[in-house]
Structure 1
């Protein structure tokens, strides 16, 4: 087969390596072109060397190109993968630090909450440029596979306003699937069947079958609470499971910031989180993780380059991308969980929202399983986020500052912590701090600066309830060595499942 795949944001070396390795393992795809593009020329060159080495060592006729010119990379592409983080760590830091001044303690800040909403404003502005170029330069009816967060907002904008055929992809369902299988004592996730549905990062395991036997809430609660790792790391998820009757795909830290109950009182946050790994609730945990690992591109590059010398004969990962492309091109059916327009798939969520739900892929496209109904508590939680997402997408499209502030005001955690005056001032502060990535708000930034000269509310210098310091490269190296040792001794189970 001969077609072109463009990866935007390919400078995320480890993730791009995984995606390309999976794609090159599809037997029919050996003659494709992979076009890598990123604004970071150094990282782009590293990933180019790795993918070229894979192709050379395995004697594949595939073509690898790399350019910082996105439009050049998109020419003639049948598939486009979006893996960008607009604003990088500089903008991400303000997604976390400014809300903390107003009492909003986030672990990740990439989905909703104050940080996720502003991340969406930056991302949507860029997404529209990507879509314009795709429509102009890529193959007709090209498919955009969006991996970038905030998943719902980015996918929603691409479909409704970018007019590009788009599917959003996330690995939260797979991670939780592996965790459930481990808790139940299964040999692997292949022994456990699931139906999972909702919206991205608030998707729910509606039906779990272990060797064909249905697992109810009480059995799953017992299994998770009996597990020496999950019982410590997943207190929020287990509590929600007990109250809602269904388990969430998302880790403790992710889930805790999408709800109004677990992070609103600083003195109680530590009751619900675990600090053994960032993803389980640490204040600004994902920012710390990304900051620490920024320099590990250099550390990991020789290892990745050496690994690229190995034959491509191992199994593929469970990232959706290669399996979707294989199904579309060969007709071999693939079942997964995809982010698409609802259009009646989930009966008790709005038709216009972006859902994450089961579907099957073949030559005819992505075919969703219709007629799903969420438990009322799960649906109510999703609906609150959908309303925030809808407002945030429309604000990003119009540059409407009032609507943006209304979206943040209605966010579940922000609303549990902040007054309206605090929300209005916080958003002004974030707009000013992130102005260079927010072209749609250019005309509104001067007024926001003026308002901040006479602030209505006092802020505080607060690091959050559970902030950990950024480790040096030497400290990271020692920690990784200890982690590898623990894994070898059989004690790294929880980290491996969610890593």
Structure 2
């Protein structure tokens, strides 16, 4: 076990280091923490973006007197990874142009998607683009920094985390997702309401997580040692029809309008099955038949996030990053709700940390096959990453989750084995695709492959029935 030494320089390789979202969150968290001595090596296929973020990172460090973090931009993946203790992976599979076709083509066939990055036709095609890239990153980690701890932030989380383990079975990796944070916030609110004063924070809410990424569930919860499950179930029943949020969605704010929800899907699933559905409504809705929620998304008060808005938002983020690079005032180095720095400190021998992550199933979720990527709590410490046994989902919920877990594993197999013949049957089996019938689904699949074939390995891009 390695004792925590805050003077020892830790090398962090950031793959996708030109990121406009996650990279600056990490910068702010490292600056706020102020105890880690770190060298952050940013790598991105857009080297200029990585150089810009390196300069912004240096500004964050300079603005926080206690911060001991330096930032550089590396021109090659190998250079960034060499000697790394810790690797962050945050990339965009393809471009927003490809994502736009992932959404628009199924819409022409009557399939509505609220996100399109995990399951459904959009998530499926995105995985085809992303798996080969993440697999190559995993191979490079095995070659250049085999002992590094690796966190994947890229969706589709399950198949991409699985690709890392296929590339390098001894990799010390996990997939990190913040969706469960929303349920923990609600739980803290309920505990404060019960206490009669604001006392608890999201971090005080403890939950037992089980399921797969973005289709996560919680079957036990507590705050300050008090069991809160009955309180949460009653709250969900109370607000099942009306929905609930600590403050209303600002309909004039496009981001809130397209990315926030009123928990009506969460509460409806919770009341149906007697176990808390724990991801955001926009993600949960895509795992079940379209008639449940997507067809009635306005009634259930969640947005369908248009790619056109994502493109405009990205332009705004680029402008904001360029302004920071030109000397605009930095946001205060307030901590985000992400757990990466806490996880890193724990792995270096600091205070033990427990949070929900994605790992291969080694029995932590009973009822799901060994090896599929599941989401449960895990314990981070100087001993490494140890998944926490979470138990088994109720039979009715397991019936919904299991086919997705099996499909994700089979999709990973098909892509890595370059087995194009296996793709269409898997695509047809998704609950959003099944209702449109074989002939139309096959036609749609061909159109989607044609739209993204330039991003695919040749053996997979050959499937195309469009003349």
TM-score above 0.5: yes
Deviations 1:226-247 (A, max 9, x none): 6654898232222111111122
Indicate if the aligned counterparts of 2:43 and 2:76 stay in contact, CA closer than 8 A. Answer: yes
How many residue pairs get matched?
Answer: 434
- The aligned counterpart of 2:438 is 420
Are 1:400 and 2:419 matched, yes or no? yes
- The aligned counterpart of 1:358 is 377
Indicate if the aligned counterparts of 1:273 and 1:281 stay in contact, CA closer than 8 A. Answer: no
Deviations 1:311-369 (A, max 9, x none): x5x4x322121111100112310011111111111111111111111121110011122
- The aligned counterpart of 2:429 is 410
Indicate if the aligned counterparts of 1:336 and 1:360 stay in contact, CA closer than 8 A. Answer: yes
More displaced 10-residue stretch of structure 1: 206-215 or 124-133 = 206-215
Query: Structure 1 length normalisation: TM-score?
Result: 0.81
CA shift at 1:210, angstroms? 4.5
CA shift at 1:127, angstroms? 0.7
Are 1:116 and 2:145 matched, yes or no? no
- The aligned counterpart of 1:215 is 229
2 CA distance for matches of 1:289 and 1:224?
30
Deviations 1:269-309 (A, max 9, x none): 245432xxxxx232xx1524422212112432336854548
Indicate if the aligned counterparts of 2:351 and 2:381 stay in contact, CA closer than 8 A. Answer: yes
- The aligned counterpart of 1:465 is none
Are 1:281 and 2:303 matched, yes or no? yes
Name the Cα RMSD after superposition: 2.4
Are 1:87 and 2:105 matched, yes or no? no
Among 141, 145, 163, the residue aligned to 2:147 = 141
- The aligned counterpart of 1:388 is 407
1:51-62 equivalence runs, <5 A: 51-59=57-65, 60-62=67-69
SS of match in other structure, 2:391 = coil
CA shift at 1:25, angstroms? 3.8
Are 1:198 and 2:211 matched, yes or no? yes
More displaced 10-residue stretch of structure 1: 141-150 or 46-55 = 46-55
Distance 1:309 1:358, change over 3 A: closer
- The aligned counterpart of 1:469 is none
- The aligned counterpart of 1:155 is 161
Distance 1:271 1:29, change over 3 A: closer
- The aligned counterpart of 2:4 is none
CA shift at 1:179, angstroms? 3.0
1 CA distance for matches of 2:463 and 2:393?
43
SS of match in other structure, 1:399 = coil
Distance 1:443 1:329, change over 3 A: closer
Greater fraction helix: 1
- The aligned counterpart of 1:480 is none
1 CA distance for matches of 2:351 and 2:206?
20
Query: Structure 2 length normalisation: TM-score?
Result: 0.86
